[in-house]
Structure 1
Amino acid sequence: MGRKTLELLTESMFYVLMSLLREDRCGTEMADWVQGRTGGRVRLGPGTLYTILAKFQEENLIRETAVDGRRRTYTLTEEGRRRYLEEVARLRACLSDAEEEGQ
């Protein structure tokens, strides 16, 4: 049985979507925001970030809103917001299970 595309988001993917919840950002702004939000725990190198952005565009989770030279700005689509909220619910369920087990 094959896994549905983006059924589970990696930590990096989750934070990229989170970075777009309140405002449009370019790749550098996303990477800086994620690093700051996570206290440096999650660092997005260019290869990782742009692979994620390409996949998210392919899946219609984000879309480009502006291009200025090499700087591309992205926004979260309704599908992207829905997918982010699904992941939040999944993570909350995992935490609830852990708490029930006394962890």
Structure 2
Amino acid sequence: MTYSGGPMTEAMYYVLLALMRPNHGYQLMQAITEVSRGRLKMGPGTLYGVLSRMQKDGLIALANDDGRRKTYEITKEGEHALRLEYERLKSLIIDSSVLEEENDG
């Protein structure tokens, strides 16, 4: 199965951002908190559910499994999906400029 595109959940987006450098589960939870500037704290249940789904979708891959910990990395398809989502989010902000115009008057 491959990722069909469309809006990503916040969890998916931050997992992909955090996986711009390969990481294992615990490091990944810390990296997500860091990259979201403390706004998003992801617990193990949510994280491993998202990782499993994203692995099935081909957005991430297992880089290493030493038996104790699994290290994940973003795939080319995952990076492409992340960049598409980034462009979509930027468009939302640009389209919302009318909200700032209302504050001027």
Q: Which TM-score applies when normalising by structure 1?
A: 0.87
The number of residues matched between the two structures is 98
Alignment partner of 1:31 out of 16, 24, 29:
29
Partner of 1:19: 18
Unaligned runs of 5+ residues in structure 1 are none
Is this contact kept in 1: 2:60–2:78, CA < 8 A? yes
Pairing 1:41-80 to 2, within 5 Å after superposition: 41-80=39-78
Query: What RMSD in Å do the two structures reach over aligned CA positions?
Result: 1.5
Structure 2 vs 1, CA of residues 6 and 52 (structure 1 numbering), >3 Å: closer, same or farther?
Answer: farther
Unaligned runs of 5+ residues in structure 2 are 101-105
Q: CA deviation at 1:37?
A: 2.1
Is this contact kept in 1: 2:63–2:71, CA < 8 A? yes
Task: Read off the aligned partner of 2:70 and give its amino acid letter.
Answer: R
Alpha-carbon distance between aligned partners in 2 of 1:28 and 1:6, rounded to the nearest angstrom: 27
Q: Does 1:86 align with 2:84?
A: yes
Q: CA deviation at 1:53?
A: 0.3
Alpha-carbon distance between aligned partners in 1 of 2:43 and 2:78, rounded to the nearest angstrom: 22
Alpha-carbon distance between aligned partners in 1 of 2:48 and 2:33, rounded to the nearest angstrom: 16
Identity %: 34
Q: CA deviation at 1:42?
A: 0.4
User: Which protein has the larger Cα radius of gyration, Structure 1 or Structure 2?
Assistant: 2
Structure 2 vs 1, CA of residues 53 and 26 (structure 1 numbering), >3 Å: closer, same or farther?
Answer: same
